[in-house]
Amino acid sequence: MMPLLKVEMNIFETILARRSIRSYKAQAVDRVTVNILLEAAVRAPTAIHQEPWAFIIVQDQPLLQKLSDRAKPLFLAKAAAQQSSSKHHDHILEAFRSPGFNIFYNAGTLILICGKKASPSFEADCWLAAENLMLAACAMGLGTCVIGSALPAVNDPEVEVLLGISDEFSVIAPIILGYPDEEIAPSFRKPPLVLSKFIAT
């Protein structure tokens, strides 16, 4: 196990500070840092201690561009089939139609958290690992963003072969990682929606 990393934020400060970052500096994230984040990821809760996760690290820019180019038409086809529309949704579709748009926002690192499909609750376990990774990255001054639009592409059989993903696994959480190149604005959330309270009297 790696030694504990000293960071300036406590856990609650980190939870409040985390944002989805969509603009990155060219500075690369080194392998030691990536390994620290993976160590954080595998400390997540896991159903009956199955630890069903595995990881793909992509830092090859031509490959990232190839994955982005493959993902965009798949995302647009799925959106067309769903026939949903809103101002925000239409803005996203417009971006995906642009040849110059990169779904990974030019981040230098993509981490694919994969789950072993035979394990119970493998999807939930992988998302718990993803949250651990993103919070650890935030505490280290790094930015992350979940790129759900990449899922149809990275789970395509041809791409799975390209990335070395066996039939045993499925990609659950595609997360970009890098050094933020934007001012991180405050993020607001609605108050918790409590459906019921059962309080002992």
User: How do residues 136-184 score in pLDDT, each as one tens digit?
Assistant: 999 999 999 999 999 999 999 999 999 999 999 999 999 999 999 988 7
Query: Cα dist. 170→60, 65, 105, 187 in Å?
Result: 21, 21, 23, 31
| Exposed/middle/buried for residue 137 (C-beta within 10 Å: 0-12, 13-18, 19+) | buried
Task: Say if residues 146 and 105 touch (Cβ distance below 8 Å).
Answer: no
Structure tokens that stand for 119 in this block = 């394990």
In a domain, 99, yes or no: no
* Beta pairing partners, 109: 177
Cα-Cα-Cα-Cα dihedral sign, residues 90, 91, 94, 96:
negative
pLDDT of residue 50: 97
In a domain, 194, yes or no: no
Residue type, 75: F
pLDDT of residue 91: 82
pLDDT of residue 104: 98
pLDDT of residue 149: 96
Task: Say if residues 149 and 101 touch (Cβ distance below 8 Å).
Answer: no
Q: Which domain holds residue 139?
A: 21-59+104-178
In a domain, 92, yes or no: no
In a domain, 91, yes or no: no
Closest CA to 35 of 76, 65, 5, 78: 5
Give the residue ranges of the chain where pLDDT is below 70: 1-6, 84-88
CA gap 25, 145 in Å, rounded: 14
In a domain, 191, yes or no: no
In a domain, 12, yes or no: no
CATH code for position 132:
3.40.109.10
Task: Say if residues 115 and 126 touch (Cβ distance below 8 Å).
Answer: yes
Closest CA to 175 of 76, 52, 40: 40
pLDDT of residue 166: 96
In a domain, 42, yes or no: yes
| Exposed/middle/buried for residue 83 (C-beta within 10 Å: 0-12, 13-18, 19+) | exposed
In a domain, 198, yes or no: no
pLDDT of residue 78: 86
pLDDT of residue 92: 87
Q: Where are the beta strands (DSSP E) in 21-128?
A: 53-58, 109-116
Domain total of the chain = 1
pLDDT of residue 6: 67
